Amino acid sequence: MSTTSSGKSPASSGLEGVVVANTEMSDVDGQIGRLTVRGYDIEELAGRATFEEVTYLLWHGTLPTAEQLAQFGRELASYRQLPDETVAAIELAAKRMGPMDALRFAVASLTADDKDSDDDSREANLTRATMLVARVPVIIANYQRLRSGERPIAPHNDLGVAANYLYGLTGKEPQASEVRGLDTYLVTVADHGMNASTFTARVIGSTASDMVSAVTGAIGALKGPLHGGAPGPALTMIEEIGTPDRAEAWMKDALAKGKRIMGFGHRVYKVRDPRAEVLYQAAVELADETDEREALELAKAVEEAGVKVLQEAKPGRNLNTNVEFYTALLLRELGLSPDLFSPTFGIGRTAGWAAHILEHRAGGRIIRPQSEYVGPRDLHYVPVAER
């Protein structure tokens, strides 16, 4: 490997190709379109395992037994009651902030009722991880109701994470098909290699800071539109196209005007994102239950037109459908507004963030990369009166 004049390895833009950690959490093979989570292909888990099962798998390395799953569900339910400080933060955020700012603001307050904040054992951090996974959906649901002029609904402790989130948003127990669809989504996004927000969580966790701080920082990274903000614009694009027969012409016109085609292309995947297929199948199952197939047929036509037009316009770029494309459709069919898509992503990814923090704290060093200075040298101070 070549080095710079200082003997360091040359900088890699965006850390492209740089391995920053050994992990047992997940592996992303972009060449063949394969996502492995703790040894399981994502297709083995999504649509079959619940979000609680996959969260347990990420934290413990094995899928839970029926008894372990039931106990984990009870533990999650026991942490859904929010501290007064977080309730106050949500009430303020609902008046002044957008959803991602509100989520970051409220999550930062979740140390308020941590009675053992000095305990840095794995057991204590597992408790904090459980608290975060339990409370993030409640925060989002309460915020949504408050900004809509409605009062928050107390959690339904007989429901799992996905079902309770939908219940908290609407006040109605969701249909099994809706719960299955959201569970599939949360499983699909729970962990995905060393993405920007996960790396942020590991960096903060590596300093021996607390888990709430690390997850708060990860939410800040997720807020960026280059990481977690694409599902909403993808839905806007599909709705603007309107009918299948307009898809190809719309795509060509958008490219001619220099617009970005949302929901296509990925930093890692050079083929179709495997999560796109999983979410498409979840959308199909939901449409079969609701008999709302028109939107699904439109999305499929837009996908086919997008792949074709992008291949013709940008050959060799391999701009295939990514996870955001069918995320938009599925979450809309579940009744979520587009500005809740990224916070809902955060519900699923909280499990992965916590897993990486736990993993790094078990033996990793503080993450402290180097940089190569490229600025001027040998400058001399000139007193302010002489400048």
Give catalytic residue positions: 266, 324
Distance of alpha carbon 151 from alpha carbon 147, whole angstroms: 9
Tell me the DSSP string of 144-171.
HHHHTT-------TTS-HHHHHHHHHHS
Distance of alpha carbon 83 from alpha carbon 86, whole angstroms: 5
**202-208 — which CB contacts under 8 Å span 24+ positions?**
202/20, 202/21, 202/356, 202/357, 202/360, 202/364, 202/367, 203/367, 205/356, 205/357, 205/360, 205/361, 206/360, 206/361, 206/364, 206/365, 206/366, 206/367, 207/366, 208/120, 208/361, 208/366
Side by side, the strands of the sheet bearing 40-41 are 26-29, 34-37, 40-41
Residue among 222, 168, 215 at smallest CA distance from 345: 222
What string of H, E and C letters represents the secondary structure of 10-44?
A: CCCHHHCCCCCCCCCCEEEECCCCEEEECCEEHHH
Instruction: Name the 3-class secondary structure at 52.
Output: helix
Secondary structure element (H or E) that encloses residue 212, with its range: helix 211-223
Q: How far is CA 336 from the centre of its chain?
A: 16
Q: Which residues partner with 40 through β-bridges? A: 37
Q: What share of the chain is helix, strand, coil (3-state, %, to 5)?
A: 60, 5, 40
Instruction: Name the 3-class secondary structure at 116.
Output: coil
Q: Which residues partner with 41 through β-bridges? A: 36
Residue among 217, 263, 275, 218 at smallest CA distance from 239: 263
* Tokens found for residue 168: 């908290």
